[in-house]
Chain A
Amino acid sequence: MSITSDKEFDKVFKDRFDSFELDPPPAAWTGIVQELDRVKSKKPFPYVWVAAASLAAVLTALWFAPPNEGMRLHGKTEVQQVPVEANREIPAEVTEPETTQMMAAITPVEEIAAPVPAQIKSKIRVSIEPEGAKVEREESSIALVAAETEGERAPELTEATALPEERPATFTQARPSRKETLTMLAAAEEAELEESRARRKIKSVGDIVNFVVGKVDKRKDKIIEFANEEEGNVVSGINLGLLQFKSKEK
């Protein structure tokens, strides 16, 4: 058969290949089955479930989140040594009103070593105190006021180095007329201490007991008091009237 046109040419190929067959290898069907099983087992990523779980987690976190509390800093007792010129004299022109102003300017955490008696020879220590130290300072202030009333001088005052807890005594000794001011300071510190106790974060069973006892027992030394230590809650203070115990670390 002679072929001249493109149509005839194409027809030859069509006739030859329209029913053309080739036997595939047996592995071809195995490959198809494996591919079908693979596609079947490949489930789509559960975006909806992931979104729902995330939302639930966020809501749970918000539900159990503690109320927003202000940040409170608890620093270590840090002692700075400030050299003071030996035998420094208090200026004569310092008058009582000025001293009163200076007293008012003193913050609870930082004290200035300016009105130091001449007896202090070499150094004084300025202390940045944590809240816990206030109790001792308060006790010291009250004790010194009492001592001053009796006309006696606190024994610590004669020492060359004045500790921070003894600072109010220094003022008392230097200015005997400041008795009322010191009493007010002591009262203010007492109120502040009570407030800080009330604000204290309740983290453990000991804190709960402290809170309840604090509401019932208004004494400074509670009938029982717990402190949070590394090993857990420990009894830091007991006050049964005659029988008293108080931890030094408190």
Chain B
Amino acid sequence: MNISRKLAVDDLLEGCRRGERRAQELLYKMLASRMLGVCTRYAKDRYEAEDMLQIGFVKVFQKVKEFRGEGSFEGWIRRIMVNSAIEVYRKNQRMLDVVDINEVYDVQQVTFDMNGLETKDLLRLIQQLPAGYKLVFNLYAIEGYSHKEIADQLGITEGASKSQLSRARAVLKEKIMKLEGSKYVDHVG
């Protein structure tokens, strides 16, 4: 994020706290595309992503008075979007399809090149993951949450979080290799 954008977002904070519709709209226009990019990784399709976006922004405007300025305003909004995605996931699937750590098998270590893959291809691969795998992979690999944070957030054990992540990687690698076709080579080891 460049400095001018950060300043603009922070400038809108006070207007949003006062419930000014104009400030809310400007904040939305400034961040909606980026937040839809976040939501899309957690959703199974574009429609579900837009639902998450809508739920997230309504929460942002309702809870903006609670924002104490710890960290960036955009980072706070992003966490709210992620939480909205988790909420939608919980509604759709009451039970996480948790796989125990013992059931995770070692995937053969491979070396492959991902430069040839477009972002939209990678996004499709993520969206096609089982819901639990997708959630944990997004939270750990992209948002940067620790296993403990994920376990607390989802109400699962750290071991379950690790197993989900491991399975997610395995599935993604397998699909990437298929996409790359003959581009990948077996790694010795």
Contacts and interface: CB of A to CB of B under 8 A. Distances in A.
Interface of A: 1-4, 6, 9-10, 12-14, 16-25, 28-29, 31-33, 35-36, 39
A4 B110 CA distance: 6
Given A18-B142, A21-B33, A21-B36, A4 B187 contact: yes
Interface in B160-175: 169, 172-173
Nearest to A27: B50
B58 A39 contact: yes
Interface stretch (B65-73, B83-91, B96-104, B114-122): B114-122
A17 B37 contact: yes
A168 B33 CA distance: 107
Contact of A36 (B33, B58, B109, B115): B58
Interface in B90-141: 109, 111-115, 119, 122-123, 126, 137, 140-141
B141 A13 contact: yes
B147 interface: no
Main secondary structure of the interface of B (DSSP, over half): helix
A3 B21 contact: no
B109 A4 contact: yes
Interface of B: 21, 24-25, 28-29, 32-34, 36-38, 40-41, 49-50, 53-54, 57-58, 61-62, 109, 111-115, 119, 122-123, 126, 137, 140-142, 144, 169, 172-173, 187
A161 B157 CA distance: 102
Nearest to B56: A32
Nearest to B41: A17
A22 B62 CA distance: 24
12 contacts: A3-B111, A10-B169, A13-B126, A16-B122, A17-B122, A17-B123, A18-B142, A19-B37, A22-B37, A31-B54, A32-B57, A33-B21
A12 B112 CA distance: 12
Contact of A35 (B34, B58, B126): B58
A243 B115 CA distance: 126
Contacts of A21: 33-34, 36-37
Contacts of B112: 2-3
